[in-house]
Structure 1
Amino acid sequence: MSTPNAYELGFRSVDREFVDRRLPVEGTIPDWLSGRLIRNGPGRFEVGGERATHWFDGLAMLRKYAVADGAVRYTNRFLRTEAYDAATRGERTAEFASGPSPVRRALRWLRALGPPESTDNANVNVVRFGDHYVAQTEAPRRIAFDPDTLATRGEFRFTDDLTLHLSTAHATVDPRTGETVGFGLQFGRRAQYHVYAVDPGTAARRRIGSVRARGPGYVHDCAVTRDYVVLVETPLRIDLWRILVPWGDGFLDALHYDDDRGTRLVVVDRETGDLVADPVVPPFFTFHHVNAYQTDDEVVMDLVAFEDASIVDALAFETLAEDAFAAAPDGRLDRFRFEPTATDPDVTRARRYDGGCELPTVPRSVRTRPYRYAYAQATDRRGANGLVKVDLEREMATEWWARGVYVEEPRMVQRPGADAEDAGVVLAPALDTDAERSVLLVFDAETLSLLARAPLPHAVPFGFHGRFFAAD
């Protein structure tokens, strides 16, 4: 019998939940590392005998790696949401690329006297608002969960009057203030981006400012500096009419790339909420930002850029089934510099790493600040995904690869009290196709030498994002 390939293993539904399962550890995990790596992503792709058509549409399943005293304990649990309950009845809900049949969708419209409420299948990321641990997707419905057991606690709602129809699953914690900065999109005759901040103590959300959207464009992530929030409004346009009609196939059906539009950099002042600048540059697409900061007069913004939005369609199962990720275009780490207060800001762009990469991260302490090192998934080889550490000062990179191993999003954790930016470890879940199971990899953050492996009892579907929450 042949070994299952990366598509068969990495996009195969999970049918078992493990609770506080102690993992075998090969190697040594530093004793100082203590806390939880909690990740989010799809765990089940079949509903009512039909398989989802896109990676983004699987049912949300949290995964927790609790690390203490050199040991790792693993828990995985599906979010118990309305989408989950519907799936257990064999009913599909409207997701990124799929939804119920046109007839069923039209009936829901009639019952709701308008568009039904968006999905609560929060399968993209996790965040902490005050004392609340919350799972998020790009729909404006957030699900609270218990960080110890991963049990679903119910829907998390802000008490303000801010209306959002789409909301980022990426929120940046400013290490200076502790507040979490995010944004969302409100549809209407004048579509608007609303930029907001969440208080670290009370979890109250305040509006920073609102800016008119053009297109509107699909914006997945944002850059945050000391004084500014930058939204990169890509030419991937959202067709509002396609969202509002009851026969649409999902959010993906409403996205259209218009390479004649250019990419708009929307710069919002964090104190006043004013639109400071919105220069337009030649078109490109991005999902994820690396980091951003300010010099005396410039904003420096690093992100993973694609030539166009073909990466979105490349993550559909029809394409992934041919050779997992091989057909997906590679993103490149690019640096943008501009003077935000200039009358007509001149934006420069430079390549910082020639290899393909995605899912970038930096140490928490340097977010919004000048920094030297970025860590990311390396993507430009067949039969594997690797790990890369980019030295942005020396313009050098260190990479780690292993045949048949598909590394997911890395998270860099600094050693408490360390002075060096890269003193610590990198935690990277991965799929080992030869072993037919997933594994937590622990690397030395300075050298990328592999310190430890902790194999899981099963193969977990490829996930999206997560965070490491240090022990209190």
Structure 2
Amino acid sequence: MSNATDRAYELGFRTVETEYADRRLPVEGAVPSWLSGALIRNGPGRFEFGGERATHWFDGLAMLRRYGFDDGTVSYTNRFLRTEAYAAADSGHGATEFATGDGSLRRTLQWLRSLGPPEPTDNANVHVAQLGEHFVALTEAPRRIAFDPVTLETRGEFRWRDDVPEHLATAHLTVDPNREETIGYSTVFGLSPTYHVYRIPHGRAARRHVATVPASGPGYVHDCSVTESHVVIVETPLRIAVTKALAPWNGNEGLLDLLEYDETATSRFLVIDRDTETLAATLEAPPFFTFHHVNAYEDGDELVVDLVAFDDDEIVRALTFEALSEGAFATAPDGRFVRYRLRPDEDRVRRSERYDGGMELPTVPKSVRGRRYRYAYAQATDRVGANGLVKLDVERGTATEWWERGVYVEEPRMVRRPDGSAEDDGVVIATALDTRRERSMLLVFDAETLVELARAPLPHAVPFGFHGRYFPDA
């Protein structure tokens, strides 16, 4: 690995010891005065448990990070979620998560042969969402943790009061500003596994069941797409081997050991009609794997689904600490921006690549989610010694990129100017690790040009996180 890559691995997966509260950050450049609100991100902050180190990036202990904006200033708060997982780690017990521990998913699935389900992990380290007046941290286990959006103090567990079943939950609740609701789904195991789609009206904390659709495998599904009239679940051949989880103890450690990629199987697009609340179509395509969707919209009789695609599941294995320490941090496969055009009436799927660079963690402006759009922003990933930022013009098939040697950009978020009219009138904000300064920073870019407007160095290096949202009223 290059020196910058070595430092990125060392700093980006190193436990944080200090929590800061409303720390005013120095600003180099100028943050637009109209930017008011907070970017709240989630991700791991601790990787050691009683003398043992986690084995996968996904297994770190949840730590929230808040970047507050007010009249050109930036403040920083970071705080671990005070959960059962946090207390157990503090007392010397390892986490039971994606790949580390004593078989979290295995224990979760024991409901199939026991009198009742065991309690899954509450280490909600993947994403955040606002449900009515509640701000919650999310993971793929069916437990959500509420927190204060200003102090990040843990408020306790958020529980649904409904009968929507879930053995695995989505950490990617998809916000649809056009129909003023948020879409989510759960996975249920059994002899006939299923996905359950639900909606959460804006301003409410209750959800309502939309549809139940059959699962094959079931698949490991991390994200979904929403159009004006449809929800699209993409089920790849990365399957969860439920029978392996239920077999006599054979050394399974967590979800990672229960994932099997069937290269002979197809990927399936499950299209749910939001109005009739039924499965409208199931379409198949050659196998691929995806974590994240970019956007989707309706184009006449076609559904356009844009996502970040991988040839197979190698990326999942490449994110173990063993693989990362042996060079996978620099050589892990790159995701590609791929467009699928679905014709449900003809049972036809067409695929095309829209950008030949590596990318992940995509986002689009809020105003065009679920609609025809022109611009997408993402982390650019195909260079050694840095991660960049890319702005894609999906109509023209062109891209603008920003790179700086030794800087590793994380997930970007686009924030539109309050009185802006153009789709890209606003800023892009992203956290990044600066390996030269050995600390993280917040970056602010002009959304039209990707010209850097400001950077605000943090007092420490923060481990690489996963996802976050910008809350204008937080």
TM-score using structure 2 length:
0.95
Counterpart pick for 1:269 among 258, 268, 273: 273
Aligned to 1:308: 312
Letter of the 1:373 partner, please give it. Y
| Separation of aligned partners in 2, 1:62 and 1:210 | 33
For residue 88 of structure 2, give the secondary structure of its aligned residue in structure 1: helix
For residue 9 of structure 1, give the secondary structure of its aligned residue in structure 2: helix
Counterpart pick for 2:215 among 195, 213, 216: 213
| Separation of aligned partners in 1, 2:327 and 2:434 | 16
Maintained 8 Å contact 1:294/1:300: yes
Cα deviations across residues 135-194 of structure 1 (Å, max 9, x unaligned)?
Answer: 000111000000010000111111011110011111111111221101110111111100
Aligned to 2:374: 372
Q: Does residue 168 of the first structure (1) align with residue 170 of the second (2)? A: yes
| Separation of aligned partners in 2, 1:333 and 1:186 | 30
| Separation of aligned partners in 2, 1:50 and 1:118 | 21
Displacement of 1:324:
6.0
Maintained 8 Å contact 2:210/2:277: yes
Letter of the 2:323 partner, please give it. T
Counterpart pick for 2:49 among 36, 47, 52: 47
Counterpart pick for 2:235 among 233, 236, 260: 233
Aligned to 1:397: 399
| Separation of aligned partners in 2, 1:231 and 1:105 | 26
For residue 323 of structure 2, give the secondary structure of its aligned residue in structure 1: helix
Structure 2 unaligned segments of length 5 or more: list them: none
Cα deviations across residues 227-271 of structure 1 (Å, max 9, x unaligned)?
Answer: 110010000010012333555210101000001011000111112
Counterpart pick for 1:5 among 4, 7, 15: 7
Closer, same or farther: CA 324–416 of 1 in aligned 2, 3 Å: farther
| Separation of aligned partners in 2, 1:202 and 1:413 | 23
Cα deviations across residues 346-370 of structure 1 (Å, max 9, x unaligned)?
Answer: 1111101100000000011110011
| Separation of aligned partners in 2, 1:339 and 1:174 | 23
Maintained 8 Å contact 1:209/1:272: no
Maintained 8 Å contact 1:411/1:426: yes
For residue 98 of structure 1, give the secondary structure of its aligned residue in structure 2: coil
| Separation of aligned partners in 2, 1:423 and 1:452 | 17
Closer, same or farther: CA 248–159 of 1 in aligned 2, 3 Å: same
Aligned to 2:289: 285
Maintained 8 Å contact 1:431/1:459: yes
| Separation of aligned partners in 1, 2:360 and 2:431 | 14
Aligned to 1:95: 97
Counterpart pick for 1:85 among 69, 84, 87: 87
Greater shift, 47-56 or 290-299, is seen at 290-299
| Separation of aligned partners in 1, 2:160 and 2:107 | 28
Maintained 8 Å contact 1:91/1:100: no
Aligned to 1:411: 413
Cα deviations across residues 55-102 of structure 1 (Å, max 9, x unaligned)?
Answer: 000000000000110000000000011110100111123200011389
Closer, same or farther: CA 214–101 of 1 in aligned 2, 3 Å: closer
Aligned to 1:155: 157
For residue 316 of structure 2, give the secondary structure of its aligned residue in structure 1: helix
Maintained 8 Å contact 2:49/2:95: no
Counterpart pick for 1:259 among 256, 259, 263: 263
Counterpart pick for 2:135 among 133, 136, 154: 133
Counterpart pick for 1:349 among 323, 348, 351: 351
Aligned to 2:337: 333
Displacement of 1:199:
1.7
What is the percentage of aligned positions where both structures have the same residue?
66
Counterpart pick for 1:143 among 138, 142, 145: 145
Counterpart pick for 1:318 among 292, 308, 322: 322
Maintained 8 Å contact 1:7/1:323: no
Aligned to 2:361: 359
Displacement of 1:114:
6.2
TM-score using structure 1 length:
0.96
Greater shift, 194-203 or 396-405, is seen at 194-203
Maintained 8 Å contact 2:318/2:328: no
Counterpart pick for 1:465 among 455, 464, 467: 467
Aligned to 1:381: 383
Displacement of 1:298:
1.1
| Separation of aligned partners in 2, 1:421 and 1:85 | 45
Maintained 8 Å contact 1:242/1:253: no
Maintained 8 Å contact 1:284/1:308: yes
| Separation of aligned partners in 1, 2:73 and 2:92 | 39
Structure 1 unaligned segments of length 5 or more: list them: none
Letter of the 1:432 partner, please give it. D
Aligned to 1:192: 194
Letter of the 1:49 partner, please give it. G
For residue 329 of structure 2, give the secondary structure of its aligned residue in structure 1: coil
Letter of the 2:123 partner, please give it. N
How many residues are treated as equivalent by the alignment? 465
| Separation of aligned partners in 1, 2:321 and 2:117 | 28
Displacement of 1:471:
2.8
| Separation of aligned partners in 1, 2:328 and 2:473 | 36
Cα deviations across residues 258-300 of structure 1 (Å, max 9, x unaligned)?
Answer: 0101100011111222111111100000000000011221111
| Separation of aligned partners in 1, 2:41 and 2:457 | 16
